[in-house]
Amino acid sequence: MKTNTKETVDGVKRVLEGKKVNLRVMEKDDVDFATECFNNLDFRGEYDPIPQQKSKSERLRDFDNPSSLIILCERGRFIVEKKDGTRIGFIAHYLVQPSRWMEIGYEIIPKERGKGYGTEAVQLMVDYLFLSKNIGRIQAITDTRNKASQRVLEKTGFSKEGTIRKSGYVKGAWSNAYLYSILREEWKKPKTLTKTALTKPTKRTLT
């Protein structure tokens, strides 16, 4: 049975602690931050399609009533916070069915880029997913021109698998993307999190 408390979701802590950043499960109070970020065209960077513009009330409604697609792909969204609690971005994971692969997506607000926060957020997410989920592979898709994102993935141990041609239609032209992945056997061990840091010691043992 799933047990959620103020501090845990399914026995896993709501706040995953790194050295420079923490990942915290997104809560309803973060919808204002999400609205501000996702309605800012610079936030998603130069290479992503323009995201759907939504008001805060629409986002609140979506938060309370997630779509069946979001439920089906078991999406989890975390806030990236600096150690003083300042919110600086998002990182999400979702299941690619039916193969049970996880895919991740992430954004750091423009003024906080280039300080190592994105890399640590991705490392924390990879540790969290391999420690807590029964998956063998995590993947990420990034525009071929997105050097910062590729660097983040490579520093985390992802390998480039190939090019997805015409992967998106961005600002009036077709774009290509690279598919990156990391397998459980390549991850070997956590870079930042440990099993004990992930769970409360008295909670269930993860498989």
Ligand X SMILES: CC(C)(COP(=O)(O)OP(=O)(O)OC[C@H]1O[C@@H](n2cnc3c(N)ncnc32)[C@H](O)[C@@H]1OP(=O)(O)O)[C@@H](O)C(=O)NCCC(=O)NCCS
Q: Closest CB to ligand X among 18 and 118? A: 118
**What is the closest distance, in whole angstroms, from the C-beta atom of residue 96 to ligand X in the complex?**
15
Cα–Cα distances (Å) from 57 to 29, 35, 202, in that order, read 12, 9, 39
Q: Which of 81, 107, 138, 192 binds ligand X (CB under 6 A)?
A: 107
Q: Closest CB to ligand X among 88 and 131? A: 88
CA proximity to 159, closest of 134, 140, 131, 135: 140
Whose CB is nearest to ligand X? Answer: 118
Window of 25-33, 110-118, 130-138, 157-165 that interacts with ligand X by CB under 6 A: 110-118
Q: Which of 78, 90, 94, 117 binds ligand X (CB under 6 A)?
A: 117
Q: Which of 14, 54, 77, 115 binds ligand X (CB under 6 A)?
A: 115
Interface with ligand X in residues 16-45 (CB under 6 A): 44-45
Contact 117, 124 (CB under 8 A): no
Q: Closest CB to ligand X among 44 and 82? A: 44
The Cα–Cα gap between 13 and 162 comes to 35
Interface with ligand X in residues 87-106 (CB under 6 A): 105-106
Interface with ligand X in residues 45-64 (CB under 6 A): 45
**Phi, psi values for residue 205, rounded to 5°:** -85, 135
Q: In this structure, how many other beta carbons lie within 10 angstroms of the beta carbon of residue 166?
A: 9
Element spanning 104, H or E? strand 101-108
The pairing of beta strand 15-17 with beta strand 159-170: unpaired
Q: Closest CB to ligand X among 11 and 30? A: 30
The answer to whether residue 119 forms part of the interface with ligand X (CB under 6 A) is: yes
| Residue 27 in tokens | 């809560």
Cα–Cα distances (Å) from 3 to 18, 42, 127, 179, in that order, read 25, 38, 22, 35
Interface with ligand X in residues 126-165 (CB under 6 A): 140, 142, 146-149, 151-152
Interface positions with ligand X (CB under 6 A): 44-45, 105-108, 113-119, 140, 142, 146-149, 151-152
